[in-house]
């Protein structure tokens, strides 16, 4: 059976951790994701943000910079700069 390619949904704390790993501000993430800074702040505060087009924009902006999210029994955030499409 083929492995599932379901997109992992990042939690608010994971978004914050990813931003910290990249050493970027909420403003920089908002600009990269083309969303308002208040939106980034709101998503970071949410344990389980709504997985909508805005969440996808934020998550993809982080993933383009080498971030990987996992949500198994031990949710985590990792940074692999060699996978970054956009250098940080």
CATH code of the domain occupying 12-83: 1.10.260.40
Residue 49's pLDDT band, with cuts at 50, 70 and 90, is low
Q: For a pLDDT cut of 90, what percent of the chain falls above it? A: 60
Dihedral angle, C-alpha 58, 62, 65, 66, nearest 10 °: -140
The overall average pLDDT reported for the chain is 86
Query: pLDDT tens for residues 12-21?
Result: 999 999 999 9
Residue 72's pLDDT band, with cuts at 50, 70 and 90, is confident
- The domain ranges of the chain are 12-83
Residue 33 has pLDDT above 80, yes or no: yes
Asked if residue 25 lies in contact with residue 41, where contact means CB atoms within 8 angstroms, the answer is no
pLDDT attached to residue 6: 59
Residue 76 dihedral angles phi and psi, to the nearest 5°: -150, 170
């Amino acid at each position: 059976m083929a492995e599932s390619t379901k997109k992992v949904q990042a939690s608010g704390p994971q978004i914050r951790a990813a931003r910290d790993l990249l050493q970027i501000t909420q403003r920089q993430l908002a600009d990269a994701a083309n969303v308002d800074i208040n939106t980034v702040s709101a998503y970071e505060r949410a344990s389980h943000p709504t997985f909508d087009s805005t969440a996808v924009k934020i998550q993809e902006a982080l993933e383009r910079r080498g971030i990987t999210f996992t949500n198994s029994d031990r949710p985590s955030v990792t940074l692999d700069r060699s996978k970054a499409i956009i250098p940080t």
